[in-house]
Amino acid sequence: MTPDATKREAIHSGLQRIKLRMESIIRGKPEVIEKVLICLLGSGHLLIEDLPGMGKTTLAYALARSLDGSFQRIQFTSDLLPADVLGVSVYNEKVRDFEYKPGPVFANFILADEINRTTPKTQSALLEVMDRGRVSIDGQTHPVGRPFMVFATQNPVDFEGTFPLPDSQLDRFFMRLEMGYPAREDELEILRGGVRHYDQILSEPVVPLGTVLEWQTEVGRIFVEESVLDYMLQLIAATRSESTLQCGVSPRGALALKTAAQARALYHGREFVLPEDVSLMLGSICGHRLKTTTHGSDPLEERRRIDGVLGHIVESVARPL
């Protein structure tokens, strides 16, 4: 076995250990956990849309505990200010100068709970830190911890007192998922367990946090054959010519799709991307970056239409052999 193959096998083994640990906490959601780990490999941020009480917070906490990473939950409300998230400079009488007091965003894993309940001004405070992993205040730049991943939750049904996320904010999210109701057997296990709060979960880390940074650098080394790149571009181009969509996927979205396909290949222990890696990630990576021409109607119906359009595009574009 070559050194590269040995490294990929070690990464695959480590990811499976994390997956098993998370599955012991999040019952019956192997596909969701797989995509969360793909998002982690791709150095991305995750937007989770679902009803309250579906395990969104527990999902983020389970990943943080599996890696021994620092975890911060920020409850987004209408009166939340950017300084409440990023931190603030305060005057220190002893040194006669201003000192920066970091906000809760300085952690490895951030849960931005109900992110669409805060104002666009506070939402925009996350743009730089999500894109560049740093906070700029009073002419000073402060890097956050690495790895750094934002889990943001929002309710797709209850829009009372909410502020829709602007396109620039949505575009910072690598992936969007929904949890969905658990199967009957899995919900029985949840009821038998009796743990009601995420911070009551006892879980030992199974992989050192710093190892994730090594894994993330390996994603870009996964080979993408020219025909697969062309297939990817055909899918992206199809979203731009689809009459039911306001506009297609941007180049940033296309790059995210490529990274997601590479991350999925690495997750499954491969050194190359298959066409199915691209098609299976298309909806999660590109769905939240699109709007239909009838945007503004029921948000659930809007998402179903977009999912239907993307499904039709996948069926209509021929896969490379």
User: For 247-267, how does the pLDDT look when each residue is reduced to its tens digit (9 = 90+)?
Assistant: 899 999 999 999 999 999 999
Same domain, residue pair 241 and 188: no
| Helix/strand/coil for 65 | helix
* Residue 313 in tokens: 């595009």
In a domain, residue 104? The reply is yes
Alpha helices for the chain (secondary structure H): 3-23, 30-41, 56-67, 82-86, 120-124, 127-132, 167-170, 184-193, 209-219, 226-241, 251-267, 275-286, 299-316
* Residue 103 in tokens: 């906000």
21 near 206, Cβ under 8 Å?
yes
Q: What is the CATH number of the domain that holds 239?
A: 1.10.8.80
Same domain, residue pair 153 and 10: yes
In a domain, residue 315? The reply is yes
pTM of the model as a whole: 0.91
Give the separation between CA 153 and CA 54, rounded to whole angstroms. Answer: 11
| Helix/strand/coil for 114 | coil
Low-confidence ranges of the chain (pLDDT < 70): 1, 156-161, 194-200, 295-299
**Considering its fold, how many domains does the chain have in total?**
2
In a domain, residue 199? The reply is no
Q: What is the CATH number of the domain that holds 63?
A: 3.40.50.300
In a domain, residue 12? The reply is yes
In a domain, residue 87? The reply is yes
DSSP assigned state of 176: E
pLDDT of res. 296:
59
Q: Range of 276's domain?
A: 220-321
Same domain, residue pair 251 and 177: no
Same domain, residue pair 224 and 188: no
Same domain, residue pair 88 and 128: yes
Question: Nearest Cα to 40, choosing from 198, 270, 260?
Answer: 260
Same domain, residue pair 166 and 248: no
Last residue of a domain, one of 151, 177, 210: 210
Same domain, residue pair 73 and 39: yes
Same domain, residue pair 14 and 48: yes
Same domain, residue pair 172 and 262: no
In a domain, residue 73? The reply is yes
In a domain, residue 230? The reply is yes
Same domain, residue pair 313 and 273: yes
Residue 118: partners with Cβ closer than 8 Å, 6 or more residues away: 76, 77, 78, 80, 163
In a domain, residue 184? The reply is yes
Residue 161: partners with Cβ closer than 8 Å, 6 or more residues away: 78, 117
pLDDT of res. 158:
53
Same domain, residue pair 164 and 266: no
Last residue of a domain, one of 157, 182, 210: 210
Same domain, residue pair 42 and 185: yes
